[in-house]
Chains A and B, each alone.
Chain A
Amino acid sequence: MNDAAPTTEINLTTADGVPLKVSLRRAQRRNKIKALMLVAPLFVFLLVAFILPILDMLTRSVDNPEVITYMPLTSQALVKWDGTGLPDEAVFAAAVQDLAKGSRERTIGHVASRLNYEIGGMRSLVMKSARKARKMTDAPYKEALLKADKRWKNPDVWLLIQRESAPYTLSYYLSAIDLKYASDGSIVSKPEHMEIYVNLFVRTLWMSALITFLCLLLGYPVAFLLANLPMRQANLLMILVLLPFWTSMLVRTTTWIAILQSQGVLNDILVASGLLSDDNRLQMIYNKTGTVIAMTHILLPFMVLPLYSVMKTIPPTYMRAARSLGATAMTAFRRVYFPQTLAGIGAGSILVFILSIGYYITPALVGGQSGRFITNFIAYHMQQSLNWGLAAAIGSLLLGIVIALYMLYNRLVGIDNMKLG
């Protein structure tokens, strides 16, 4: 802004003789760089504190370092194996050496857990054999290892170790969609009793759709009322929408526990008013119902606010014009008002849906068994089963869905137009 202002001489040069075009371009470039420099610190900060962590999670979902790091000799020896019958003595010798070393250095547990994700029972086989391998000092190692545990006679075990010797794997992603590698390397579906994640994804999407629909159903009339009331009254009622929006969601989840639990406020009221007998109290929490009620309450303001800001821009004269031209109230609403609110419906619905599928706290606290979301399994694998690769794979799939919806939102609304409160 403090650049030399281009003058309007006839030969179109600035005061110091530089052609106007060049001077203008230079000034614009300087402004561009200035704007970029202002954004740079924040961009770098987010890159380090947010984007890199997300990328770290994405790489972890395909990272497969255990076998190749802690059983290096075996991995190398198995490269040449053609996969038929049992491997030869050289592979067994390498395996015994790796197992013994892993047992001494206490690193073999990593390999044992990694292989156990693929075939149940591998943990005990590896751990037990590793202990025994420390005493195997003489050839032939093949005989010794087979004697230590006859499960080593199964070629599937060796095929598994060979497959997991690769530095990267897709097996976490396969697990996340209920598939697995068969021993010959082809991809098959898991046995039925172990299929959980596809159902969970479907349930998460379905319940989020239900919550979004309920938010729309409840939010539309409220936004309509707020947009059409006189300013003073609308501002007062707006507080009723904004206060829940600003209240901690843990507080709101807690209140729903207090209200809905079987000894809670709502059941007590129903029993006291005689609508319900005391031994017949409704189970409204720690199941799907509880999750849907609490999450609809928590996400409702995110629907009302975008709807309100769209409805606020619709001139009330349109409806009056339609009525004066002979449309019934219903027709005027359906043909004139409603189509103009579609942008708000799209914005609010996508926002609520995105927030809903990624919600963790509320389903974890009030969802019980049947109301759990896919996020609860990410947390479970992060904190309890410690299968971080699987947690990362499920997380990456969820992230993919969210990013797709975010791009749709961007196309519909434009993130530049995002407003708060």
Chain B
Amino acid sequence: MAPPPYATGPERAWYYTFRFACALIFLFLIGPILVIVPLSFNAEPYFTFTKAMVELDPEGYSLRWYQNFFESQAWLGAIKNSFIVAIFSTLLATSLGTVAALGMSSRYMPYRVPIMAVLISPMIVPMIISAAGMFFFFSKYQLTQTYTGVVLAHTALGIPFVVITVTATLTGFNHSLTRAAASLGASPVRTFFKVVLPLVTPGVVSGALFAFITSFDEVVVVLFIAGPEQRTIPIQMWSGIREQISPTILAVATLLVMVSIGLLSVLELLRRRSERIRGLSPG
């Protein structure tokens, strides 16, 4: 891309300055995430590039922090817990949220705005306040320090994302399709599974991914209501950063970046697919 041919001298100068500034901002956004990847292969227990690393000496690099990670019982337990909690809360949030989004996108839905405000509130209320409230309330019913408590809490936190994404998909939904299905004799349940669901699947899946990552990354609520049995990856990282910061954390961080790249790719594919289905882009 070059500036338009009619641009004057100062305009050209501004054009390139602007591009350069944007490049710096993109560097600010992505640089930190790129820096930790090579750092996690450090052979020394430092958080910076050693001389050997800069000279690209193979001696300077090692997999010891990854080995540390995969041999540690604490980390492996945390991985297991993170997946248990994230999977169950995602299932719960996605099923409840999808059904509710069907109601919210109906033309006849009364009190839409106040109800929507309530459904979205877990996303807006500061995490520390949700955590404190849940700690007080859940401890009355012996739900703190249990998997059930953590799953319930994470379900609540993931719900807004499912509701928002599925409602957004449904607003572009053509309701004559359900009427056509009904006129052809399909029951409402059959219509839902055969007509509605296939069309809203991209929205449901991206909502589910949001709910999953919300649970998978969540620290504060787990910190307050989970016991030692329910330590998740973020909790393990949190205490690692606070107590004895070792490059094992960087290895975990690198693996988590890989997870987010994977999620981002899935989302991008879904977005393209739904645009193609709805005829918004040539494909």
Point out residues on A near B: beta carbons under 8 Å.
1-2, 28, 31-32, 34-39, 41-43, 45-46, 49-57, 60, 218, 221-222, 225, 229, 233, 237, 239-244, 246-259, 261, 263-265, 268, 297, 300-301, 329, 354, 357-361, 365, 375, 378-379, 382-383, 388, 391-392, 395, 398-399, 402, 406, 410, 415-416, 418-421
Beta-carbon contact of B35 and A360 below 8 Å: no
Beta-carbon contact of A42 and B159 below 8 Å: yes
Beta-carbon contact of A46 and B253 below 8 Å: no
Q: Give the chain B neighbours of A391 by CB distance below 8 A.
A: 132
Q: How many pairs of residues, A versus B, come closer than 8 Å at their CB atoms? A: 270
Beta-carbon contact of A34 and B47 below 8 Å: no
Q: Which B121-151 residues sit within 8 Å CB-CB of chain A?
A: 121-122, 124-130, 132-138, 140
| Dominant SS among interface residues on chain A | helix
A73 CA to B152 CA, complexed, in Å: 42
Q: Which of B119, B219, B220, B263 lies in contact with A246, CB distance below 8 A?
A: B263
If A221-B25, A265-B49, A382-B132 are given as contacts, then 15 extra A-B residue pairs at C-beta distance below 8 Å, sorted by A number, are A1-B182, A225-B22, A244-B30, A248-B216, A248-B217, A249-B217, A250-B237, A251-B237, A255-B33, A265-B35, A358-B128, A365-B238, A378-B132, A410-B113, A420-B161
Would A38 and B133 be within 8 Å (CB), given that A31-B106, A255-B253, A357-B126 are in contact?
no
Beta-carbon contact of B178 and A1 below 8 Å: yes
Beta-carbon contact of A42 and B97 below 8 Å: yes
Q: Give the chain B neighbours of A410 by CB distance below 8 A.
A: 113, 117
B65, chain A: closest CB distance, angstroms: 13
The 6 A-B residue pairs with the shortest CB-CB distance, nearest first, are: A358-B126, A38-B103, A53-B133, A53-B137, A42-B100, A31-B108
A341, chain B: closest CB distance, angstroms: 16
Would A420 and B210 be within 8 Å (CB), given that A247-B256, A257-B47, A415-B116 are in contact?
yes
Beta-carbon contact of A39 and B109 below 8 Å: yes
B119, chain A: closest CB distance, angstroms: 7
Q: Which of B103, B210, B238 lies in contact with A35, CB distance below 8 A?
A: B103
Beta-carbon contact of B35 and A419 below 8 Å: no
Would A252 and B129 be within 8 Å (CB), given that A41-B100, A43-B100, A257-B241 are in contact?
no
